[in-house]
Structures are given as C-alpha cells and as structure tokens.
Amino acid sequence: MTETLVPGELTLAQLRRLCAPVHVPVQLAPACRKAIRASAALVRKAADGDAPVYGVNTGFGKLATTRIAKDDLALLQLKLLRSHAVGVGEPLPTSTARLVLLLKAASLARGYSGVREEVVDGLLALYNEQITPVIPCQGSVGASGDLAPLAHLALPLIGEGEVFYQGERMNAAAALKRAGIAALELGAKEGLALINGTQVSTALAIDALLATDRLFESAVIAGALTLDAARGSDGPFDPRIHAIRGQPGQIDCAAAYRAIMVGSEIRRSHLQDDDRVQDPYCLRCQPQVMGACLDQMRHTARILMIEANAVTDNPLVFDNEMLSGGNFHAEPVALAADGLALAIAEIGAIAERRIAMLVDTVVSRLPPFLTPDPGLNSGFMIVHVTAAALASENKSLAHPASVDSLPTSANQEDHVSMATFAARRLGIMLQNTAHIVAIELMAAAQGIEFLRPLKTSDALEGVMRLVRSVSPAMMQDRSLAREIAAVHHLVASGDVGRATASQITELHALRLA
C-alpha cells in the first residue's frame, strides 16, 4: 500500500497512519509537479539576472546585502547547509525525523519555494528507503525556521551528514550508495528553502499531539474507574448540567463518563442511604477539567494541521515575483505547543489528586493506603509520592516557552519563538503524565478489589482484566516499579483506550483523528 501526499491537504489521520511503526511508502500527487517546475524556473531566471534577490544571489540574515557572484551560487547553497548543521544533543526519535521529511517535502511541493522536483523527490526517496537523517534535538530557536535541525535533515541529500539505515548509524554517503540513490547538487535557493521552515517544531508538536490523544482516552477511563472505586456519584455527569454551560469538550467528556459507567453494580449498591452530599472536585469536576483539556487539544490540532500544510520558507515565489516575508517564524507552533503543555499538565494534575483521594481512607472510605494490613504494609503510600513528584515536574515544564526570546544573528532576528523547545519538552511531560495515569489505574483497580464481589461496569471490568494481566492485586507489599512500567506501556500505547472504545462509542468522540 502506498499513501499519496497531496500538498496542502495533509490530514491528522493520514499523519497518524504514516507515524505508525509499520512503514508505508508515499508518493507525490502528480498534479502538483507543474507548480514546482514553474517556481523553479522563476528562481533560475532570478539567478541569471542582475537584480539582488535574497537567498538567491545574496548572503543570508545580517549578510543579506552581500552580493554573490553567479559562479558561486551553487557553492553558496552548499556552504549554507554545512555552516548551519551545528545542532547538539540526542538525535530526534526516528518517527519524528521521518515526519519532518514528509512535512518538508509536502511544503516544498506546493510550488512556492522555487526548488526543483529532484529536491522533493530526494526527500521522499529518503523516506521511502527508510534512510533517516540524524537530527540533533537542540539548536533551534524557532525563528528563521528550524535552521540547525533542518540543515542536518538536508545534508544527506547531498551525501553528507549521518543517517540511521538498516539498523545502523552511518555516513549518509554510504547509505545512499547502499540504497542506490544519487546525491544531489543543489541549485540556487534550494539550500535556503530546505533549512527555512517550521517542520521540525511542527513534527515534534504533532508527535506529542498524537500521543496526548492516546493518553487522554486512558485518563478518562482511569477517572471513571476511580469514581467507582471511591463509590462516587454519577449525578454530576447528568447531560442537563453540561448542556446549559455549552462547552463542547465538557459535553463530550460527560457523555463518555456516563457511557463507561453503565451497568455498574458498585454504583447501584450505594444509590440509597449514602450520607455523602458531594464528591471531591477530582471526581465531580472531571467533565469540566478534562473537557477543557480536550478543547485545548482540538484547538492545537487545528493550528498544527494548518502549519503542517503551510509554506514556511523564504523568499517565496508568486507568479512572476519573489517576495521576502516571515512565514518561517514559528510563533503559531510555539503558542499551540504551550497550550498543549497546559492540557497535559492538567490531565496529570487531576489524576494525581484522584490517587491522593484513593489512599486517604477518610475521603475514599477504603482501607488506608489501599492495603488490608496498614502499618505492617505501606501499600500505595509511596506510589502516590511518585505520582506527586511527576505532577510537580510537569508544573515547571508547563511554563510557556513562547514568552522567552533571545535575539540572534547580530539582532537581525531580534524576536524568536522558541517553538522547537516548546514542542520538544512535551515528550517529557507526556512520559510523566502517562506514568501518573498508570499509577491511578493500578490504585483504582486495587480499590475495586475491596468492593468485591460487586462488579463495576462491563467496560471497566475489561480494564480491570487488562491491568491485572500485568499487575496483580497487592495484598502484601512488593515493589511495583516494573508493574508501573508495564501499565505505563498500556497507557502510552493506547491499549487501555482500545480495550474500552470497542464497547463505548462515546469515547470515539474524544479522539482527534
């Protein structure tokens, strides 16, 4: 099977498929090639002329007033890639680097960048042959594009830099030779078009968005399991309450919680003679908190998909004119990533509060720290401490990166977005929050054990079985570190959501793609 890339029409669902572990080759929609050829012809015309055109026959950034001789135009592009490939840090994950290849190819293929077809085809050849550029994760301020990381992405096209290929990290020239791909010689503006753009920050943010989508579903399910373990009320989930507020995410989340809880024997057991008037906010306000997070995720998805389909290099080619602008400034990505960071932190924050509630016998009315023999056993006491530590880390990481700016390029680039870090730090936050949700699932499952023989809903009994497949009930203390890791995998992989969504169609409305 081959996926067709239609420049300007990429969807989140398509990118989800292409980010999956199973490799799917791609091809470019033939209709876009005419525009690519036309824009490349205009750049060639400008290169042959005498008028100064930024990035074609001039230097870059603060050196834009320096004219370059016609004989040196190809060398100019080569030196540009080499000089800008100065990233540091660990390589981006392979899945992210491959997404960058796709986004860069799709952007250039819209026909506003002035590159030849060979450049776009070269990027897609790397993708299809699974030759993944080694892209250091640090070194971009998200202003004049993701300059350093995109330079590392582009070097393999000319047979330089490093790549991952067939399970090895190797010199790009060796990988191209092994795959039978010829190195390119760049023409006028092509190096600049390759390194200008927001594709690295956008790919990092989209990767995080897709992971948040999986995490969110698991967090909703974990919250429902905790609600039953704590014998909470389902009254606050009544659709009338949410309808008169009108927030769409809240309405959708409330519907999902109601559907997940249908048929619970535990709920039926305390409908009468329950002396509690109201549950704690961490139970009662789940639709309001998680719904607001869902609305933020949906907004982030809209912004990022606009950016994934955008042309963000400079200068740009329009009919018979080349215009310099600032589309490479990644402020939209930075603000979207910062918003997503807040949502990820809040998903973890309310989950941590539910864990704290479960281990507090005064509130949960379950055995202290969820152990039948407290004192001799500590139960889930320190498991909650781990969740609290992770939630606290997320508070610091959620500080908006977009409010920072350090001028670069001798003050020519005097306001920058910090979008690449804004997106990159989401991965750490997702790991933290997925661990918190995993701990909540384990704690809630432990709470349910004390209510047996009563059963929770059919959907949640399926979740219980899934958790118990890797983490048995704990009636005597043992180390839970490996079990936390195992349940974390169920959360991060989406297995928890898949185990439940097949029965609960209302969960489908929470998915972004």
Catalytically active residues, by annotation = 54
**SS (HEC) of 233-267:** CCHHHCHHHHHCCCCHHHHHHHHHHHHHHCCCHHH
Residue-wise DSSP of 367-400: PGGG-SSBTTB-TTHHHHHHHHHHHHHHHHHTS-
Under a CB-based contact definition with an 8 Å cutoff, are residues 212 and 340 in contact?
yes
For the stretch 29-37, contacts whose Cβ atoms lie closer than 8 Å and that sit 24 or more positions apart, written own/partner, are 29/4, 29/5, 32/6, 32/7, 32/109, 32/110, 32/111, 33/117, 34/111, 35/110, 35/111, 35/112, 36/108, 36/109, 36/111, 36/115, 36/116, 36/117, 36/120, 37/116, 37/117
Under a CB-based contact definition with an 8 Å cutoff, are residues 395 and 405 in contact?
no
> Beta-carbon neighbour count of residue 493 at 10 Å?
14
SS3 of residue 300 by DSSP = helix
Task: Cite the DSSP H helix spans in 49-93.
Answer: 73-84
CA triple 463-467-469, angle to 5 deg: 115
Count Cβ atoms within 10 A of the Cβ of residue 466 and give its class: 0-12 exposed, 13-18 middle, 19 or more buried: buried
Beta bridge partners of 27: 4
CA–CA gap between residue 78 and residue 123 (Å, rounded): 16
**Residue at token pair 């781990």:** 386
CA–CA gap between residue 264 and residue 504 (Å, rounded): 14
CA–CA gap between residue 510 and residue 513 (Å, rounded): 9
The CA R_g of the chain, rounded to the nearest whole Å, is: 26
In 3D, which of 194, 155, 423 has the Cα closest to residue 328?
194
CA–CA gap between residue 28 and residue 74 (Å, rounded): 26
Burial 68-103 (b: 16+ CB within 10 A, else e): beeeebbebbbebbeebbebeeebbbeebbbbbbbb
Under a CB-based contact definition with an 8 Å cutoff, are residues 290 and 104 in contact?
no
CA–CA gap between residue 513 and residue 500 (Å, rounded): 17
